[in-house]
Chain A
């Protein structure tokens, strides 16, 4: 698109030409998110600073009948921000101010581009934190978290983004600016805030959010259990939950991941272990030791080779850094990877993980596993080389079989990454045409022109053909 295109000059009038990108080299930075196998170039990227800017940009997009999509930090894992039909990317990086920190009311008002961890850092000296902690929290934005309804390791105890957002200011797809929810826990009427969260940027653009802040727990106990097999470790997961203990986090890494993480971070993970479980307890210190002992017992009953404890806060942080940065270390394993995100009932974990191993063997595609075991939210990392077309075809079959296994086990195809473009084809595995029709009806209310983030979430005729339906 040329700089003298009327659309471009109108956008430049709003944000200034220095905040509009149109040259192909710079645009290529915006061609994908964390799911790098999916690529599409926008025609233009704009960097607004206010809701009013965005409202005007959206009105211009409508006038020119051009698609538009919001983009946070680009750390998404399902291609949710992918400009599949080109058009405008509304990049929210400059809207990164924390507008208000209200410790007395345990809430903060933030712009969408605020980095998740940045909010926690801003309130930690007051003894507070923002609970949803996706692994990408050092980079990902709260606006992106809201669009995807992001989770993280500690959602086992504290819930997902939707449980922590009280109010939203949104630019609707016609440019109108409206608030949903507020600074109080409930407001009368339909919970549009709740429907907006997790709508993957297809209902409008969040320009402000009121989020809850939580008091930092008095104490933590972080345990590491080292097991010979995934099976033993997944039995531990079920046993802990069945004993009535809900840890703050309950994470598993398999041997592939242990190796990649250890080579990158040198925490001391044993390279020959079959699986490592990270169990974190948090809350009031009194009584915590007894729970830790109960967990150690469950470890031992399941043939645990060794139990380690985080020695101090620095040690604990190092464990979490290793776990959360695991994704960064997969580059060591293969040129490309796709991270699956299925969820199964916790009791089905051993069975489904065995199935994942079989699928890996069947198609000769290595699969690593690092995931939120306590939630039953698995992350099979499908490793491949995108330059090998035969591998790519097998990867597609692998994805299909893994997600089918999750659906058959009574689960779902995504626990926190969203559908985006990546999993559209698999939606019929869990939703009937009638279920999807209601979603389409609701989408048509919020996004009647379809210009706001098109080509996401909904399966196409091709998807049904692929599934043989």
Chain B
């Protein structure tokens, strides 16, 4: 393994000065590298190749020098996964940030992986179109990162997750070979659907360099209805009734112990509606009717700037920007199991000394739970680990699962952040072994230590 100076020189040979961020002794908090720090471990170098050729060169160099490589976009989701033993190279695609093909009338676009979602959205908006995804860190995350993590936000209820929007991609394998999967058109069953393999694989199978996506026309108008209740049960009932109605909400989110923007302590339900003004008006009326029948104490309709702020604040939930410790887990459940799970969350809240907040994507059966505001900033590791285990049991007992997306490093070392995978694990191991035979990419951080 090369020493730091050697590493520095070798990498500059490949990517130039502009393509390298080095580890320095005096890391400033606002240093660009800090977003590439994983569980407190700074990488030996952050490499930002400017071409596929440079990516191939970096991978070849890393393989020869026995350095591990962690693929990244802007680094917003690098913390998801097992804690790494050490971090050699973080390879960010953020300098590959161009729109490669965009014919608006086709409602598809092909981009380089490093383009930030926000930059892409601005370009699409000029043509009245958008990518209907609103994952956490919507302002910073890149398309490549979203694809590698299959991220999604509240609007997945109506428009699906990244999985549903990706048509094709180009991937550099750890061997340096460049391959494509899928295509650029909206329907394609030629050969195996290997897009699905790379989506959500957290960089363990290759470096995604190019993504083709299916777009949507921007809705004519968007509104959010903010409902407040005295009892969680009432909010859950309203959500169930809406989910089973002929309404077509964009999102249907329950908040327990703190809603976006308002920080309202009462249980809240946020319902998004978009589209033709008449359709939207009709839906708002229908929501109000259901809400009144089920004991809503507050009904407010957000539009314009405030609706946008509310949406942004909701997407950011529950990931705060502060440096204080936070534990975020995500449970995937059947819709009917959400109420019971939320009750368990409330019990946890009543028994704990820290803040417990929850956001439920009620039409998708997804519940995010955040633990924060630990007294004196001190996380009682064992107790929190046991609590997470209890929550996971609550999810798995009803056929669901629970993933810990964010936690202090000491806690991550005590728990299995991904949870059990079941009998398909042998196949997953085989896939990793065949597609990354030299074990170069994001090693040890995915399910079961893949």
- A410's nearest neighbour on chain B, judged by CB, is B184
For A178, the chain B residues whose CB sits under 8 A away are 422-424, 427
With most chain B CB atoms within 10 A of its CB, the pick from A185, A241, A246, A375 is A185
- B448's nearest neighbour on chain A, judged by CB, is A189
Residue among B197, B276, B422 making CB contact with A191, cutoff 8 Å: B197
Asked whether A412 lies within 8 Å of B183 as measured between CB atoms, the reply is yes
| Bound Cα distance from A245 to B248, whole angstroms | 16
Residue among A107, A241, A377, A442 making CB contact with B107, cutoff 8 Å: A241
Residue among B181, B188, B279 making CB contact with A415, cutoff 8 Å: B188
| Bound Cα distance from A183 to B183, whole angstroms | 29
Asked whether A444 lies within 8 Å of B335 as measured between CB atoms, the reply is no
Asked whether any CB of chain B lies closer than 8 Å to the CB of A105, the reply is yes
Q: How large is the interface on B (under 10, 10 to 19, 20 to 34, 35 or more residues)?
A: 35 or more
Asked whether A238 lies within 8 Å of B332 as measured between CB atoms, the reply is no
Query: B177: shortest Cβ distance to chain A, in Å?
Result: 5
Query: A51: shortest Cβ distance to chain B, in Å?
Result: 13
For B427, the chain A residues whose CB sits under 8 A away are 172, 178, 190, 192, 445-446
Q: Beyond A286-B279, A431-B190, is A188–B419 a contact (Cβ under 8 Å)?
A: yes
Query: A124: shortest Cβ distance to chain B, in Å?
Result: 14
Q: Beyond A184-B401, A287-B282, is A414–B164 a contact (Cβ under 8 Å)?
A: no
Q: Beyond A244-B217, A415-B189, is A284–B246 a contact (Cβ under 8 Å)?
A: yes
- A199's nearest neighbour on chain B, judged by CB, is B192
B104-129 Cβ-contact flags toward A at 8 Å (1 or 0) = 11111000000000000000000011
Asked whether B197 lies within 8 Å of A190 as measured between CB atoms, the reply is yes
| Bound Cα distance from A194 to B276, whole angstroms | 33
For A183, the chain B residues whose CB sits under 8 A away are 334, 399
Query: A341: shortest Cβ distance to chain B, in Å?
Result: 8
Asked whether any CB of chain B lies closer than 8 Å to the CB of A223, the reply is no
The size of the chain A interface, using a CB distance under 8 A, is: 93
Asked whether any CB of chain B lies closer than 8 Å to the CB of A427, the reply is yes
B185-210 Cβ-contact flags toward A at 8 Å (1 or 0) = 11111111111110111000100000
For B275, the chain A residues whose CB sits under 8 A away are 287
Asked whether B400 lies within 8 Å of A414 as measured between CB atoms, the reply is no
Asked whether any CB of chain A lies closer than 8 Å to the CB of B218, the reply is yes
Residue among A179, A241, A427 making CB contact with B423, cutoff 8 Å: A179
Residue among A102, A195, A290 making CB contact with B276, cutoff 8 Å: A290
Binds A, one of B24-32, B51-59, B379-387, B430-438: B430-438
Asked whether B105 lies within 8 Å of A195 as measured between CB atoms, the reply is no
- B416's nearest neighbour on chain A, judged by CB, is A188
Query: B337: shortest Cβ distance to chain A, in Å?
Result: 8
| Bound Cα distance from A347 to B340, whole angstroms | 49
Asked whether any CB of chain B lies closer than 8 Å to the CB of A159, the reply is yes
Asked whether any CB of chain A lies closer than 8 Å to the CB of B247, the reply is yes
Asked whether any CB of chain B lies closer than 8 Å to the CB of A123, the reply is no
Query: B343: shortest Cβ distance to chain A, in Å?
Result: 17
| Bound Cα distance from A194 to B448, whole angstroms | 20
Asked whether any CB of chain A lies closer than 8 Å to the CB of B233, the reply is no
Residue among A148, A187, A284, A343 making CB contact with B247, cutoff 8 Å: A284
B332-360 Cβ-contact flags toward A at 8 Å (1 or 0) = 11111000000000000000000000000
For A283, the chain B residues whose CB sits under 8 A away are 248, 279
- B188's nearest neighbour on chain A, judged by CB, is A412
Residue among B128, B187, B197, B365 making CB contact with A244, cutoff 8 Å: B128
Asked whether A195 lies within 8 Å of B244 as measured between CB atoms, the reply is no
Q: Beyond A184-B334, A192-B428, A238-B105, is A435–B180 a contact (Cβ under 8 Å)?
A: yes
Asked whether B185 lies within 8 Å of A246 as measured between CB atoms, the reply is no
Asked whether A427 lies within 8 Å of B336 as measured between CB atoms, the reply is no
For B240, the chain A residues whose CB sits under 8 A away are 104
Q: Beyond A215-B246, A244-B217, A375-B186, is A179–B424 a contact (Cβ under 8 Å)?
A: yes
Query: B222: shortest Cβ distance to chain A, in Å?
Result: 14
Residue among B179, B282, B428 making CB contact with A286, cutoff 8 Å: B282
Asked whether A160 lies within 8 Å of B332 as measured between CB atoms, the reply is no
Query: A451: shortest Cβ distance to chain B, in Å?
Result: 18
Asked whether B179 lies within 8 Å of A438 as measured between CB atoms, the reply is yes
Asked whether any CB of chain B lies closer than 8 Å to the CB of A390, the reply is no
Asked whether A245 lies within 8 Å of B185 as measured between CB atoms, the reply is no
Asked whether A187 lies within 8 Å of B332 as measured between CB atoms, the reply is yes
Asked whether A197 lies within 8 Å of B279 as measured between CB atoms, the reply is no
Residue among B163, B332, B424 making CB contact with A194, cutoff 8 Å: B163
With most chain A CB atoms within 10 A of its CB, the pick from B104, B129, B187, B188 is B187
- A161's nearest neighbour on chain B, judged by CB, is B189
| Bound Cα distance from A241 to B214, whole angstroms | 13
Asked whether A439 lies within 8 Å of B192 as measured between CB atoms, the reply is yes
Asked whether B194 lies within 8 Å of A414 as measured between CB atoms, the reply is no
| Bound Cα distance from A283 to B246, whole angstroms | 8
For B160, the chain A residues whose CB sits under 8 A away are 159, 163
For A411, the chain B residues whose CB sits under 8 A away are 183-185
Q: Beyond A151-B187, A194-B199, A287-B282, is A184–B218 a contact (Cβ under 8 Å)?
A: no
Q: Beyond A199-B192, A343-B185, A412-B188, is A438–B173 a contact (Cβ under 8 Å)?
A: yes
Asked whether A195 lies within 8 Å of B419 as measured between CB atoms, the reply is no
Asked whether any CB of chain B lies closer than 8 Å to the CB of A322, the reply is no
With most chain B CB atoms within 10 A of its CB, the pick from A191, A197, A245 is A191
Asked whether any CB of chain B lies closer than 8 Å to the CB of A443, the reply is yes
For A345, the chain B residues whose CB sits under 8 A away are 103, 106, 108, 184-185
Asked whether any CB of chain A lies closer than 8 Å to the CB of B94, the reply is no
| Bound Cα distance from A195 to B435, whole angstroms | 14
For B448, the chain A residues whose CB sits under 8 A away are 189
Binds B, one of A64-72, A361-369, A416-424: A416-424
For B403, the chain A residues whose CB sits under 8 A away are 188
Q: Beyond A244-B218, A291-B276, is A104–B336 a contact (Cβ under 8 Å)?
A: yes
With most chain A CB atoms within 10 A of its CB, the pick from B106, B434, B448 is B106
For A172, the chain B residues whose CB sits under 8 A away are 427
Asked whether any CB of chain B lies closer than 8 Å to the CB of A155, the reply is yes
Query: B192: shortest Cβ distance to chain A, in Å?
Result: 5
Asked whether any CB of chain A lies closer than 8 Å to the CB of B281, the reply is yes
Asked whether any CB of chain B lies closer than 8 Å to the CB of A331, the reply is no
Asked whether B194 lies within 8 Å of A430 as measured between CB atoms, the reply is no
Asked whether any CB of chain A lies closer than 8 Å to the CB of B265, the reply is no
Asked whether B196 lies within 8 Å of A194 as measured between CB atoms, the reply is yes
Asked whether any CB of chain A lies closer than 8 Å to the CB of B74, the reply is no
Asked whether B187 lies within 8 Å of A377 as measured between CB atoms, the reply is yes
Asked whether any CB of chain B lies closer than 8 Å to the CB of A273, the reply is no
Complex A-B: 10 CB contacts under 8 Å: A105-B365, A191-B199, A195-B192, A195-B196, A215-B244, A215-B246, A286-B282, A372-B187, A411-B184, A430-B190
Q: A188-B418, A442-B431 are in contact. List 19 more A-B contacts (CB 8 A).
A: A103-B244, A149-B193, A189-B418, A189-B446, A190-B200, A194-B163, A194-B193, A195-B192, A197-B196, A244-B128, A246-B216, A284-B247, A284-B248, A284-B282, A343-B183, A410-B184, A438-B194, A444-B434, A457-B192
A-B pairs with the 7 shortest C-beta distances? A194-B196, A244-B217, A287-B276, A287-B278, A286-B282, A415-B187, A287-B279
